[in-house]
Structure 1
């Protein structure tokens, strides 16, 4: 093994992750300071608590985020992987620093609905970039893992409970509309995070049970230039041996593959499913991961 090349590749990977976390944290900071805080919208997790403390006592959000996350990092020393913890510390440090550096940026809008929508989009993009870079922006994830080990609840249930408690507190201390906008903001941000993580180029997987597998497979490979996999199967009711065709295609190729299947076997059983992300020949490569 070429250890120098291995070390250089490892260093480059860490550098790419670091740059991604810095960019993502900066985008989230801009979203919070130009859309969320000027329109008095809350957030979930520890960042939401930091924003509430800012509304109540005018505490700097950047410092509040850092101080709230500090005890969780101490708890997480033995609970999470070393690299994840390091990248999380980098993420929280950058988020805190950028929140302080961008605090004087002007508000992009004073329309609360627009701020919740576009704040969710912008924050979702930033968080998605951080997650793709193997990091996090801290928050209640570590706390949820700790409680999940000592309670019958899952991590997801605990995170949902924490966010629900924050939104209820916002509705009581301020006004219900504030919590409603916060939930809209978080819903949009969550969806955008998924888009950044999975990509926009959703593909389709096609599974075909047919009596003419070879003809269909050959035509798919010839006309669409897509790889095809054949599985051996047995009908549970008839006991007959069958072959199953499996193929992944782009959305634009869906009508073509339907025509091929219908032409060769109009009686074929066809199941088509969404595939959020495909890595391999003919699709995306591992380089972007």
Structure 2
């Protein structure tokens, strides 16, 4: 139970940090330079530019509607963390500007905002949350179709960003597209570095000691797949594991120590449904 509470606290703090960085990018870089955004944030910016509607208000109203949609497709923990994220973004959007950065070279704030947005969303995803908006739909596309989250978000955000040129002008529309592309790339990079999953297949003559050592190392179940050699006819179990990139480094070292001649196949996994802890033991 203590471990669950610790994980809950960790996720909430990660999401709060991401929400703060996300809000700084909006308040200090996008809005002062009239750069648009995608998804709900883009609609929020357009509402501010045209009708002077406070971003905190449109953020919580529009995202709440999308969370109702996401409730049917995403797990309840993701919905809870997303509500937590939306609430804190709305709170931080009410804060006065922190960076006080103004420049006529609007490409600079567009690039900087893209980096901050991508980093913020990376933190929020690490906390198992989303910023709702297009990320709800992107998470659904990732879960059911295996599309990378950053790539899906970019496509969805462009549906709002491109028409926004009618309000903010063609030049700032292109700046918005640049910002969205950078944010998507930063998010994909962070996900690949810290959140990527890999499937590992191991063929070894030391199946039992190998499986026991890996299970103890990874603290999760190990799936055994029954196989046999075509020419030799030899029957042997193959070890199958889903692990993170960080875990795979330790895994390779352990396999090398136990059986240097073991055959290992490592493949990236674009989407994992369920919990790898539930793999057959």
TM-score range, shorter chain: 0.5 to 0.7
Considering only aligned residues, what root-mean-square deviation do their CA atoms show, in Å? Answer: 4.9
Among 60, 64, 76, the alignment partner of 1:66 is 60
Mark the structure with the bigger radius of gyration: 1
SS at 2:162 equivalent: helix
| Residue correspondence of structure 1 range 23-172 to structure 2 within 5 A | 23-103=17-97, 106-107=100-101, 109-142=103-136, 162-172=156-166
How far 1:139 moved relative to its partner?
0.5
Is the CA contact 2:21–2:120 (under 8 Å) kept in the aligned structure 1? yes
- Structure 2: any 5+ residue segments left out of the alignment? 142-146, 197-226, 233-246, 250-264, 270-281
- Structure 1: any 5+ residue segments left out of the alignment? 1-5, 148-153, 203-232, 240-247, 251-270, 276-289
In structure 1, the residue matched to 2:180 is 186
SS at 1:48 equivalent: helix
Q: Report the more deviating stretch, 17-26 or 73-82.
A: 73-82
SS at 1:12 equivalent: helix
For residues 125-145 of structure 1, the C-alpha deviation after alignment (integer angstroms, 9 at most, x for no partner) is 111001011001111344578
Is the CA contact 2:20–2:89 (under 8 Å) kept in the aligned structure 1? yes
For residues 98-146 of structure 1, the C-alpha deviation after alignment (integer angstroms, 9 at most, x for no partner) is 1111447522544211111111111111110010110011113445789
Is the CA contact 1:73–1:85 (under 8 Å) kept in the aligned structure 2? yes
How far apart in 2 are the matches of 1:128 and 1:155? 13
How far 1:155 moved relative to its partner?
10
Q: Would the alpha carbon gap of residues 169 and 134 (structure 1) be closer, same or farther in structure 2, given more than 3 Å must change? A: same
Q: Report the more deviating stretch, 135-144 or 10-19.
A: 135-144
Among 10, 16, 35, the alignment partner of 1:16 is 10
For residues 256-279 of structure 1, the C-alpha deviation after alignment (integer angstroms, 9 at most, x for no partner) is xxxxxxxxxxxxxxx99999xxxx
How far apart in 2 are the matches of 1:272 and 1:146? 26
For residues 177-205 of structure 1, the C-alpha deviation after alignment (integer angstroms, 9 at most, x for no partner) is 212111111111111112322338x9xxx
How far apart in 2 are the matches of 1:78 and 1:188? 30
Q: Report the more deviating stretch, 42-51 or 191-200.
A: 191-200
Q: Give the number of equivalent residue pairs.
A: 247
Q: Would the alpha carbon gap of residues 18 and 36 (structure 1) be closer, same or farther in structure 2, given more than 3 Å must change? A: same
SS at 2:164 equivalent: helix
In structure 1, the residue matched to 2:191 is 197
Q: TM-score, normalised by structure 1?
A: 0.62
SS at 1:169 equivalent: coil
| Residue correspondence of structure 1 range 263-282 to structure 2 within 5 A | none
